[in-house]
Amino acid sequence: QVQLVESGGGSVQAGGSLRLSCAASGRTFSTYAMGWFRQAPGKEREFVAAISRSDSTYYADSVKGRFTISRDNAKNTVYLQMNSLKPEDTAVYYCAANGASYSGVYYRTDEYAYWGQGTQVTVSS
């Protein structure tokens, strides 16, 4: 089992940047594929970005070119660098871990067994 703790959320004006971090504990972090999701009030949780065990990445169209996912296995941490933020990026952001043996990227919520508690990101216009 793995425990996930997000940090780095906050309030920022449109056009600004934030970097989210997700620290993992438990089983060997490098064996997990990781993902970031977000959920705005009244909306379903949606995929943002994912990174495989071998550092392949995949992004939602809405964030492509603005967000970057990365991982540091030595620090058991996955990051989400968010640039050119827009008001529609406002949401609670969650990181998630997938321990499947296949080394791929995953973008469905039901593919992730472990979730953090979330961190709030608010972008004002």
Do residues 122 and 12 touch, judged by C-beta distance below 8 A? yes
Task: Name the strand (E) or helix (H) holding 68.
Answer: strand 67-72
Q: Which pLDDT band holds residue 103 (cuts at 50, 70, 90)? A: confident
Phi, psi (deg, nearest 5) at residue 91 = 180, 170
Q: Return the structure tokens found at 72.
A: 């540091």
> pLDDT per residue over 40-52, tens digit each?
999 999 999 999 9
Taking each continuous run of H as one helix and of E as one strand, the counts in the chain are 0, 11
User: Cα(4)–Cα(13) distance, rounded to whole angstroms?
Assistant: 27
Please state, in angstroms and as integers, the Cα–Cα distance from residue 75 to each residue in 11, 21, 44, 50, 71, following that order: 26, 11, 31, 18, 9
User: Cα(77)–Cα(64) distance, rounded to whole angstroms?
Assistant: 21
> pLDDT per residue over 25-74, tens digit each?
976 899 999 999 999 999 999 999 999 999 999 999 999 999 999 999 99
Q: What is the pLDDT of residue 102?
A: 75
Average pLDDT of the chain, as a whole number: 95
Q: Return the structure tokens found at 37.
A: 């999701």
